[in-house]
Each structure stands twice: as structure tokens, then as C-alpha cells.
Structure 1
Amino acid sequence: MSESSVPKQPKINRAVIDIGTNSTRMLIFRKDKKGQLFRVNKSVRYTRMGQGVNKTKRLHPDAIKRNIEALEEYKSIAEDYEVKEMFIFGTSALRDAENSSEFIDMALQKLGMKVEIISGEKEAEYGFMGVSQCFDEGLLIFDIGGGSTELIYGKGRDLMKMKSLNIGSVRSTEAFIENDPPEAEELNQLNQNAAEALEKALADYEGYKPYKLIGIGGTATTVSTIKQKLKIYDSEQVHQSIVTKAELETIIQNLSSKTIDERRQIVGLEAKRADIIIAGTSILDNILTVTGKDSFVVCDYDNLEGAAYSRFFANEK
């Protein structure tokens, strides 16, 4: 049989959905000719699953409604792309809430969509798998989510250490910020809480130095889009961009001096992230301080890509 007569392999689209504390994201992908991940579509909806969870330990009915609506929309988009298989996972808010089963049951019964709650360690593993597609050297990866922050060290394709901390942009905002704009004492408490958690956690990573510091997730990418004044998110401009500590601190000073409405007008800042970005950048600034780094690299490949590789690539030849 000649090469030209060999039947072409069908393009099979798959999807992964990450239900986070602040946002619900979907990646539709397929394998390219070399067997690598090709991103077909990446979407985000700000659904705030973690609304009030830090205080009540329960999912708010409005949060459940928003997230069911997001899944319903994603199901429709996936059908348009003829997605054959889907993996849906939930992280910090669903881990912490006592009534997570209400949401999981509703998603299954109403939409036929099965949601799996993953551990902080599995979340970190997915994050590393996503980033490791882009770098080969020793990496300390941080993923500042809405409810938790993952710290991951690995080299090449080998994950060596991971931790999941209960500090995040939504959780910390609800715990420490009440005024608009925040008062100095609130900012001090926010910073102190982040510093204490990170100093303790990052001490265990000292032996891995030197390493490249990599940021994934919404806080890291948002800092890059603010720095670059991107009106529309551009993966190519964000991916592997560098943000210095001095640039970050200038951004933090600007954010902290403004009201939520004023922050919504900042070019590069998604309006629905305006209320939690100060807490996220506080955690990020403390990561730089504790590690002694004067900059970090932003990676646009994260736990969505990692989940895709883990779920659909790892066991296939």
C-alpha cells in the first residue's frame, strides 16, 4: 500500500473542565501528527464556586446555579466541537464544602456530566505535567488559585515535591478585606498571613536551588496582561513572559489604591477578577520575597493541559 493510500487518522477532540474556586475553565484539544497536545479551544467563565465557602463550609445556592449554567454552556460548546470524551474535575472549593455532593449530583442528573473532586496533590501534579511540556530545567512552579496555592518542584518530566496551601485569592479576600479600597491594616494582615504560610512551606524547597520560578493560573497570567496592557488575552504574548518583582510591586501599589470599580477599568485586568486580584498579587509578591527571586516566568500551560496529558495521553502509545 502506498503512503498516499494510507487512511488518515480521524481528528478526535476531547475536553477537560476545571471547576475552580473563582473560575470554571474548559480546554478542548486533540493529538497532532506527532502525538502532542494541540489546543483547539480554551474558555473561561468566572463562576465563583468558592463564594462564602471559607466562612460557611458550604456551597452557596447562587454558586451552584452559576456553575451548573457554565457546565451547561460548556456541554453545548463541546457538542459543537464533536468532543468524544470529557474529564471534569473540581478543586479547592469543592474539596472544602460540606455539601459538594449537591452540586455533583445535580451536574450528573441534570446534564449527565460526571464531576470528580481531586486532591491538592493531584491538582499540583496536573500543574506540573502542563508546565513540564515547556521547560526541561529545575522548576519551582506556583499556582495561586481562588482557594489554594500549589507549590511544585520538578525537573524534566520528574515531579519531586508538591504542597497545597490553604491560601488563595478568594479565600484571602473574604478573610481579610472588607473595605473598598482596602485599609492599610487589612493589607498588612493579608501580607502577614501569606508570608507566614509561605515561609514555612518554601523552607522545604531550599535544597532544590537553583531553579526557575514559574507562575501558572489566573493571578500570574493577569499580572502579565496588566503589565503588557493587553485588552484581549493573547496566549502567545503571555506564555513565557517575564514579570519582575519591581514591576509586580508597582502593579500592587496601583491596585491597592483603587476601588473595585476603578480596578475594573484597568487595561489587562478581567473585570470579574477585580475584587480578588489584590489578595492574589499579595501571595505572589510573598512567593518572590521568600524565594529571593527578582522575577518569575509566566506559563500558559497549566493543570488543564496537565489533566489532558494525564487522563488521555499517559496510557496511550
Structure 2
Amino acid sequence: MDSVTIAGVDCGTNSIRLMVAEVDARGMHVVMPRMLRIIRLGQGVDRYRRFAEDALQRAYAAVREFADVLGRQHVDGIRFVATSATRDASNRSEFEDAVESILGVRPEVIPGSEEAALSFLGATATLGESQLPGQQSATGQQTDPAYMVVDLGGGSTEIVVGGDGVDIPAQTVRAGFSMNIGSVRMTERHLLSDPPTQTQIERATADIDAHIDEAFTHVPAQDVSTIIGVSGTVTTMSAIAMGCETYDRNAVDGATIGFDSIFEADGRVLRMSREERGALGAIHPGRIDVVGGGALIWTRVLKRVAAAAATRGTHIDSFLSSEHGLLDGIVLDYGRRMLAGQI
């Protein structure tokens, strides 16, 4: 078997995504465009520790749609991965049973450590030849290792650091950590007013920084040279920082975003009312009410990583925005294991 066609599903706290790709010795080749549905599965999970019935119904509707699409595709394997919200929900078995009955495959509720590793795989495996260590990307971003991949989700945020490219290969995970903070979780926990008050922002910032403090005891942030940001929050805020009037995946993917522009965009969107955010065409309607919380997390992570790197004499003032992350990692990892006869 020289290649396999894999369907991957990434079911997060805010969105669910589907991708079908062929995996072979050269890598991954997308067969059909990715599908994204905003389902807010994690609605209320931070507070009540269980899935709300309307959230489950939104998820099931999306899974039925994916099942219909996959029924018209040839695939050799399907992997359905569920992350932060499902890890926290006491009634997750109900969700798992229903998904299995619809799609024929049971969700894998993976730990944060595996989510982090798969995000790193997906983000770094898609770096092109012009983005190898020590070279410039097509957009001018220097991509020296060690890479830090940040996957900022609705319920959790994974940060992963790779090797230095000398003693440890650049695309090998050196350390990773999953922080229990995300755009939905921070919004539901702290940013309750419309727009949020300064006091709410300060409390959210303190919460975020405490999680980053813990993360930095697990990952060597001071060794990072290149930050790669993935997930809907990161790419949405990148589009806004770039001045996109509507979301442009091709423009955002691989773009170098300077800290000055992203901090301005993050702060502006954070302090907007829901109505004002709704007027920004680059924000998906399903993200309007929570993207401010994600923007705050993103600013704090970037500032804290840059400060840590500065202690080692490394100056970081930009990041690489990527459309590739957990979903790519799910498909690539599953396909590689299938080709190796491990599945």
C-alpha cells in the first residue's frame, strides 16, 4: 500500500472540522476542501461540567452532514478526535454513543498532551522548502528553530516547543503543555459584559497569566526563535491585523504578522461590543461573541514568550500565521500509522 485516504474530524469546544486527504511517503495531499461548522459544543461546560442539550443537537447536525459527505467519498480510514470540552463533560458518553451511531466511528477523547503533539505535527509538517531552518519564508518570516506552535482553541490552548535543529531535530517535539484556557472558556468565565469592562479584562488577564506561568514550567519558552500560531482565533485576528475586509484563507495562511499590528487588533476587538465585532467581515458569525477572549489570550501568550526569549538574547517581534494544525496532524499521523501497518 503506497498511499491511504484518510478522513479526519477535529471536534473542539467551538467548532468541528472535517478534512479528507491522501497520505503517502511524500506527505499529505488534500482530496476535498475542509469543512468547518461552528457548533459551540462547549457551551456552559466550564461552569456546569456537562454538555447542554442544544449544544449536542448542533454537534449531531454537523456530524450528520459530515457523514453524508463521506458517504460519497472513498476513504480508507476515519479518525474522529474530540478535545477540551469533551474531556471536561460528565455526559460525554452520550455524545460518543451518538457520534458512533451516526458516523460509524467512536470519538477519541485525547488528552491535552496528545492534542499539543498533533498540532505541532500539523503545523510544522506543512512548512515548505522555503521555510526550512535558517531560511526565509515566502512572506519574509525567519523560521529558525526552536519552533513554538500555539493552538488557541475554544476550551484549551496548547503550546509546544520543538528541537533546536542541532541536537534535537526541529520538527521533533521537545516539550508541550495544554492550558485549560480558550476563547469560549475565558468569555464565559470573565468577559460577561457587552463590551467587557476593564475589571473583567484585568481578571481574565490574571487568569491567563497564571496558566502561562504554569505552562512555562513545562516548556522552554526562553529557547523559542519562531512562533507559529494556529486555530480560528489566531487566523481570524491575523486577518483583522492585515486589514482584510472578509476572511481570506490564502492571504492569512503563512503570513508574517508583526506584534505591533496584532496587539492593536487584539486590543481593539477585545473592547468592541458584539454589534461592532459583527460588522467586521473577517470574523465568522459563530466567533463574534467569543473572539475577544481569544484575542486577549493571544496577546498575553505572544508577550510572555517574547519576554522569555529576550532573557536568552533572542528578539521576537512577529509570528507566522498558519491554517494548519490539529486537523492536519490528525490525518497525517493516522495515515502514517496505517501505512506502517500499525492500524
When normalised by structure 2's length, the TM-score is: 0.84
Paired residue type of 1:302: G
**Residues 1:17 and 2:9 aligned together:** yes
Mapping of 1:14-163 within 5 angstroms? 14-31=6-23, 35-40=26-31, 41-133=33-125, 134=127, 136=133, 137-155=145-163, 156-163=170-177
Is the Cα contact below 8 Å between 1:256 and 1:278 reproduced in 2?
yes
Shift of 1:207: 6.7
Paired residue type of 2:335: F
**Residues 1:254 and 2:246 aligned together:** no
User: Which is bigger in relative contact order (C-alpha 8 A, separation at least 6)?
Assistant: 2
CA distance in 2, matches of 1:77, 1:228: 33
CA distance in 2, matches of 1:77, 1:153: 36
* Aligned with 2:235 (options 207, 218, 221): 221
Gaps of 5+ in 1: 1-8
CA distance in 1, matches of 2:116, 2:196: 31
Paired residue type of 1:75: A
SS in 2 for 1:88: strand
* Aligned with 1:244 (options 258, 264, 283): 258
10 and 296 in structure 1: CA distance in 2 versus 1, 3 angstrom threshold: closer
Is the Cα contact below 8 Å between 1:226 and 1:267 reproduced in 2?
no
Shift of 1:276: 0.7
1:2-23 CA distances to partner (integer Å, 9 max, x unpaired)? xxxxxxx998532100110000
SS in 1 for 2:196: coil
Aligned sequence identity (%): 28
1:50-106 CA distances to partner (integer Å, 9 max, x unpaired)? 000000000000111100110100111122333332110100000000000001111
CA distance in 2, matches of 1:210, 1:124: 16
CA distance in 1, matches of 2:148, 2:338: 26
Paired residue type of 1:181: P
SS in 2 for 1:80: coil
196 and 11 in structure 1: CA distance in 2 versus 1, 3 angstrom threshold: closer
SS in 1 for 2:71: helix
Paired residue type of 2:111: S
Is the Cα contact below 8 Å between 1:148 and 1:166 reproduced in 2?
yes
Moved more, 71-80 or 16-25: 71-80
Q: Which residue of 1 is the match for residue 210 of structure 2? A: 196
Gaps of 5+ in 2: 134-144, 164-169, 307-315
1:193-241 CA distances to partner (integer Å, 9 max, x unpaired)? 1112113322544475142111111111111121234455443322221
SS in 2 for 1:132: helix
Moved more, 130-139 or 231-240: 231-240
SS in 1 for 2:29: strand
CA distance in 2, matches of 1:13, 1:234: 27
Is the Cα contact below 8 Å between 1:151 and 1:164 reproduced in 2?
yes
Return structure 1 stretches of 4+ with deviation > 6 angstroms. none
Is the Cα contact below 8 Å between 1:13 and 1:81 reproduced in 2?
no
**Residues 1:209 and 2:223 aligned together:** yes
Q: Which residue of 2 is the match for residue 171 of structure 1? A: 185
1:246-292 CA distances to partner (integer Å, 9 max, x unpaired)? 11221123213321122011131112101111110111111111112
Mapping of 1:290-301 within 5 angstroms? 290-292=304-306, 293-301=316-324
When normalised by structure 1's length, the TM-score is: 0.91
* Aligned with 1:303 (options 326, 329, 337): 326
**Matched pairs, number:** 308
CA distance in 2, matches of 1:113, 1:207: 37
SS in 1 for 2:199: helix
CA distance in 2, matches of 1:290, 1:14: 37
Is the Cα contact below 8 Å between 1:167 and 1:194 reproduced in 2?
yes
Shift of 1:118: 0.6
SS in 2 for 1:160: strand
SS in 2 for 1:181: coil
Paired residue type of 2:54: D
SS in 2 for 1:172: helix
**Residues 1:316 and 2:339 aligned together:** yes
309 and 258 in structure 1: CA distance in 2 versus 1, 3 angstrom threshold: same
295 and 83 in structure 1: CA distance in 2 versus 1, 3 angstrom threshold: same
